[in-house]
Amino acid sequence: MNNRNRAAQPPTEDISSPYFLHPSDNPGITLVPQQLNGSNYATWSRSFTTALLAKNKLVFVDGSILRPPREDLLYHQWIRCNSMVISWIRNFVSSQICSSIMYLDDAYTIWFDLKERFSTADSTRVYQLKQQFMSLSQG
């Protein structure tokens, strides 16, 4: 396919567009091996980020594509893709965490909220691990 044909393609049909949803994309697909439970944020977010990047949907959580105005031609496509990403996030967080994000309707807002709440390191645990590491000796 040449570039002229690609440019004329609607974003929902262009596989390189973040607005494209593959027929196999659905709210119930498995994206990551574990649910976010709070203590596993670092590994969960890394796995989830990788999955979203592979699906070309990371832009919905990193703030690159924010909700367009209602008059925008891409508004309904944005709503559809944002809703799919929200479904994926809700399916891969614990039920307690899910209830706390249930009424947020923007994937970016949800992602930011989870990051703010769970990415902070447990300073006591970090100190304990550093102390254990310092006390290691060979033999």
Do 98 and 39 form a contact (C-beta atoms < 8 A)? no
DSSP-derived secondary structure letter, 67: P
User: In a 10 Å sphere around its CB, with 0-12 CB exposed, 13-18 middle and 19+ buried, how is residue 74 labelled?
Assistant: middle
Higher pLDDT among residues 125 and 101, named by residue: 101
pLDDT band at 6 (very low <50, low <70, confident <90, very high): low
Q: Is the pLDDT of residue 117 over 80?
A: yes
What is the pTM for the complete model shown?
Answer: 0.80
